[in-house]
Amino acid sequence: MKAVVPAAPGASSAVIHGRLAVAELKPALSVVVVNYRSWGQTARLVRQLRTSRAFRSGVGEVVIVDNHSPPHPLAARLRRLEGVSLRRWGRNRGFARAVNEGARLSRGRWILLLNPDVTVGADFLEGVQALADRLDRDEPQTGIVGLGVRNDDGSRQPSTGPFPTLLVTLSRLLLPRAWRKCHLLSPTRSQEVPWATGCALLVRRRVLDELGGLDPDFFLYYEDVDLCRRARQHGWSVRHEPGLQVTHQRPLHARAVTPLLRLLTRHALLTYAVKHWPRWQAALLARLVRAEAWWKAKRAAHRGDLPAARMFAQLGCLAAEMQAGDCAAARCRLERVVRWREKNQPAAPARAVGRFFKPSGREAGTV
């Protein structure tokens, strides 16, 4: 199923556009950020982006789509910033659909996807714009570019990889988590790759228009792999550009694997398998996930961890639904679990707003 970039009919949330730095200038580069319970990180990233000459001149814009985070005072501050647009949704629709909405609201020829938990340098946007201009001029068939990603300590973070297959997926379970999906490439040479991570991904608008955006069947994870695969099938090339770098604060492999995170990642992998693997391989993966869920539910129950046991039981049911070909039911199950978790998860305390925005000059009266 392809994504539909135009807004879904009946969408109830309102769009609030920030004032543009140069009202009549259409930006060439649109940064799309999907926020979920990370207002502080999102505000920090926006502040970093707004210091660039590209942003101040109106060449760049920022579009934030919030996936039903709890109320936070930073949201009101962000929506008043020049060159920043904010859409807040009344429910969590998943990362892929949020990106598609951000792309629909944006105006640039190129769309830069950035995670809220990345940090960028002062000249980052200028470098991205120069790259986009060069690709427009010299490489019109390059449709997607993955940027270089660094860890907090400055070491390189794996951000590209081979397309997953059943054999590769199972064999890589023997590797450390950082290497199961991705691998490292040359730190200096730009090169073509199968896919690149969506935490810092530059995408030509024509690619999204042609493909219908990110596939909304993915709730979270693997939508970047799927997008790159479909782009290559349509004749676009996917490249890795290590010279332009971001620092990624909380990559997936560095997080504790909670039962909910396991549910999300297994749903993503199963969705990818259903779409791109032979049917028997997708069915075998679903059976393996069901066995994994049964075993982990038993272990959790034995430890007395009933919430974890219930979450793994949900994973088993989800895998069974996908094995039976009812992906819609599996997606509905996942969304119910996410809504239940959001309802019962307390919101993080709001930190001081002023530390994220330090107005000066012409901004002093508006921020």
More confident residue, 261 or 184: 261
Taking residues 292-306, report their average pLDDT. 97
Q: What does the pLDDT look like over 224-246, one tens digit per residue? A: 999 999 999 999 999 999 999 99
Judgement on whether residues 235 and 277 belong to the same structural domain of the protein: no
User: Has this prediction a pTM greater than 0.85?
Assistant: yes
Per-residue confidence band for 355, with pLDDT thresholds at 50, 70 and 90: low
Judgement on whether residues 98 and 235 belong to the same structural domain of the protein: yes
CA distance 208 to 195: 15
Residue 332 has pLDDT above 90, yes or no: yes
Does residue 80 fall inside a structural domain? yes
Does residue 353 fall inside a structural domain? no
Residue 71 has pLDDT above 50, yes or no: yes
Strands 60-66 and 84-88: parallel
pLDDT score for 187:
60
Lowest mean pLDDT among 44-53, 173-182, 334-343: 173-182
Structure tokens at 159: 């951000």
Does residue 283 fall inside a structural domain? yes
Determine which helix (DSSP H) or strand (DSSP E) holds 114, and give its type and residue range.
Answer: strand 110-114
Judgement on whether residues 143 and 278 belong to the same structural domain of the protein: no
Spatial CA neighbour of 63 closest among 55, 72, 53? 55
Taking residues 282-304, report their average pLDDT. 97
Residue 11 has pLDDT above 60, yes or no: no
Does residue 120 fall inside a structural domain? yes
pLDDT score for 349:
60
Per-residue confidence band for 357, with pLDDT thresholds at 50, 70 and 90: low
pLDDT score for 124:
96
Round the average pLDDT of the chain to a whole number and report it: 88
Judgement on whether residues 156 and 291 belong to the same structural domain of the protein: no
Per-residue confidence band for 344, with pLDDT thresholds at 50, 70 and 90: confident
Per-residue confidence band for 175, with pLDDT thresholds at 50, 70 and 90: confident
Q: Of 228, 254, 280, which residue sits at a domain end?
A: 254
Q: Can you give the C-alpha Rg of the chain in angstroms?
A: 20
CA distance 111 to 219: 20
Does residue 194 fall inside a structural domain? yes
Q: Which domain CATH number covers 95?
A: 3.90.550.10
Judgement on whether residues 221 and 289 belong to the same structural domain of the protein: no
Residue 55 β-bridge partners = none
Taking the alpha carbons at both ends of the chain, their separation in whole angstroms is 42
HSE value, Cβ hemisphere, 13 Å, CA-based, for 30: 27
Per-residue confidence band for 249, with pLDDT thresholds at 50, 70 and 90: confident
Burial of 303 (0-12, 13-18, 19+ CB in 10 A): exposed
Structural domains in the chain (count): 2
Residue 34 β-bridge partners = 65
Backbone angles phi, psi at 280, to 5 degrees: -70, -30
Judgement on whether residues 181 and 40 belong to the same structural domain of the protein: yes
Residue 13 has pLDDT above 70, yes or no: no
Does residue 360 fall inside a structural domain? no
Q: What does the pLDDT look like over 183-223, one tens digit per residue? A: 766 567 899 999 999 999 999 999 999 999 999 999 999 99
pLDDT score for 351:
58
pLDDT score for 180:
73
Does residue 6 fall inside a structural domain? no
Judgement on whether residues 94 and 127 belong to the same structural domain of the protein: yes
pLDDT score for 356:
53
Judgement on whether residues 89 and 201 belong to the same structural domain of the protein: yes
Lowest mean pLDDT among 4-8, 123-127, 170-174, 347-351: 4-8
Taking residues 244-270, report their average pLDDT. 89
| Residue 340 · residue 332 · CB < 8 Å | no
Taking residues 260-266, report their average pLDDT. 95
For residue 295, the enclosing domain spans 259-344
pLDDT score for 16:
41
Q: Of 221, 254, 287, which residue sits at a domain end?
A: 254
Residue 323 has pLDDT above 60, yes or no: yes
Residue 61 has pLDDT above 70, yes or no: yes
pLDDT score for 1:
46
More confident residue, 185 or 135: 135
Judgement on whether residues 246 and 167 belong to the same structural domain of the protein: yes
Does residue 355 fall inside a structural domain? no
Residue 88 has pLDDT above 60, yes or no: yes
Judgement on whether residues 66 and 193 belong to the same structural domain of the protein: yes
pLDDT score for 14:
40
Within its chain, how far is the Cα of 222 from the centroid?
A: 9
Taking residues 13-39, report their average pLDDT. 71
pLDDT score for 181:
76
Structure tokens at 276: 């791109």
Give the rounded percent of residues in the chain with a pLDDT score beyond 90: 74
Judgement on whether residues 248 and 263 belong to the same structural domain of the protein: no
Judgement on whether residues 180 and 109 belong to the same structural domain of the protein: yes
Spatial CA neighbour of 331 closest among 316, 343, 321, 341? 321
Q: Of 219, 254, 289, which residue sits at a domain end?
A: 254
